[in-house]
């Protein structure tokens, strides 16, 4: 066919069905990568914001809660002393105090150990599954191959439109492999490059579609996971308190007031338990003193 005398039109092969599908999947991959970046930014911002708010809250009520815990511990200890004294009329109050003190020291140590263990396990919720740590040499090789391949196949390093399309396809595979820390795939791409194999056409159109579908599935799972992480943050008590800027300060004040009220009640319980214990000790000592006097006054003693 000619467009003008002596001029021949070039015949351009039409892309097949799978080529169209692969092009569509490439767009889907890029859209999902953009969505993941947005979700990660939202998640990170929300984490930082809630952490800042939690630190402020802890600064206002942390000391009060520590004091509340200490007073509750003392209440339980005095109630245990009273219980032990009532078990027998012969038991010595000083012995009770020593035994109960040892008992509660062991209990407190166990509680602290459990709290420390829980803190270590829950220092940070696994909002984002970290990539497995690889051997430093493998990490270095992955980085070296990535830089080498990116330099060789970057689309901006050619003016040919078909070559740019080919390199874009290759760079997509390189970027995904690097993100997944997939050394084997990077090595395969590098091997093909060394043997001058046309990397973009090594796979059939159907194979490329299948590969792209697997990438889409993986990215969809990552999107779902990030959305769940954000939802967990939004369901937290900290978020509920923070979500209204106008109510944040009021919420902290309410929490502080509730803790102070609980502390006041526990201090009242402690005072009552101390009074009951001291009264019981005095009665016990007076009773023992009376018995001793009776023995002393008895004939033959």
**Rounded CA separation 79/98 (Å):** 14
- What is the average pLDDT across 99-112? 85
Is residue 29 pLDDT above 90, yes or no?
Answer: no
Query: What's the confidence (pLDDT) of residue 200?
Result: 44
Structure confidence at residue 201 as a pLDDT band (50, 70, 90): very low
The DSSP string of 213-271 is HHHHHHHHHHHHHHHHHHHHHHTSHHHHHHS-HHHHHHHHHHHHHHHHHHHHHHHHHHH
- What is the average pLDDT across 145-156? 86
- What is the average pLDDT across 238-248? 68
* Global pTM exceeds 0.75: no
**Rounded CA separation 209/197 (Å):** 20
Is residue 128 pLDDT above 60, yes or no?
Answer: no
Q: Could you tell me if 172 and 132 are in contact, meaning their C-beta atoms sit under 8 angstroms apart? A: no
Instruction: Render pLDDT for 259-297 as a digit per residue (tens, 0 to 9).
Output: 889 999 999 999 999 999 999 888 887 776 665 555 555
- What is the average pLDDT across 60-82? 88
Structure confidence at residue 174 as a pLDDT band (50, 70, 90): confident
Query: What's the confidence (pLDDT) of residue 78?
Result: 92
Query: What's the confidence (pLDDT) of residue 219?
Result: 83
More confident of the two residues 39 and 58: 39
More confident of the two residues 285 and 94: 94
**Rounded CA separation 173/252 (Å):** 50
More confident of the two residues 141 and 201: 141
Pick from 27-41, 120-134, 152-166 the range whose average pLDDT is largest: 27-41
């Amino acid at each position: 066919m000619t467009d003008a005398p002596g001029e021949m039109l070039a015949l351009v092969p039409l892309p097949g069905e799978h080529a169209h599908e692969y092009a569509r999947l490439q767009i889907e991959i890029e859209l999902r990568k953009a969505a993941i970046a947005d979700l990660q930014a939202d998640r990170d911002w929300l984490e930082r914001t809630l952490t800042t708010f939690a630190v402020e809250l802890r600064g206002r009520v942390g000391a009060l809660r520590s004091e509340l815990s200490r007073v509750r511990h003392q209440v339980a200890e005095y109630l245990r002393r009273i219980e032990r004294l009532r078990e027998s009329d012969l038991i010595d109050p000083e012995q009770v105090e020593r035994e109960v003190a040892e008992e509660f020291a062991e209990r407190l140590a166990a509680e602290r150990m459990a709290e420390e263990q829980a803190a270590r396990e829950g220092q940070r919720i696994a909002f984002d599954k970290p990539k497995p740590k690889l051997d430093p040499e493998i990490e270095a090789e992955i980085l070296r191959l990535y830089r080498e391949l990116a330099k060789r196949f970057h689309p901006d390093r050619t003016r040919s439109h078909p070559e740019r399309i080919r390199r874009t396809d290759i760079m997509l595979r390189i970027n995904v492999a690097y993100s997944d820390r997939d050394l084997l795939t990077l090595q395969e791409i590098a091997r093909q490059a060394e043997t001058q194999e046309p990397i973009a056409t090594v796979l059939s159109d159907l194979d490329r579609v299948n590969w792209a579908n697997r990438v889409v599935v993986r990215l969809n799972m990552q999107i779902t996971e990030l959305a769940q992480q954000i939802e967990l943050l939004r369901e937290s008590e900290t978020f509920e308190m923070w979500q209204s800027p106008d109510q944040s300060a009021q919420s902290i004040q309410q929490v502080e007031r509730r803790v102070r009220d609980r502390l006041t009640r526990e201090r009242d319980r402690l005072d009552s338990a101390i009074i009951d214990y001291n009264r019981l000790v005095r009665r016990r000592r007076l009773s023992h003193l009376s018995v001793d006097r009776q023995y002393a006054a008895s004939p033959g003693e």
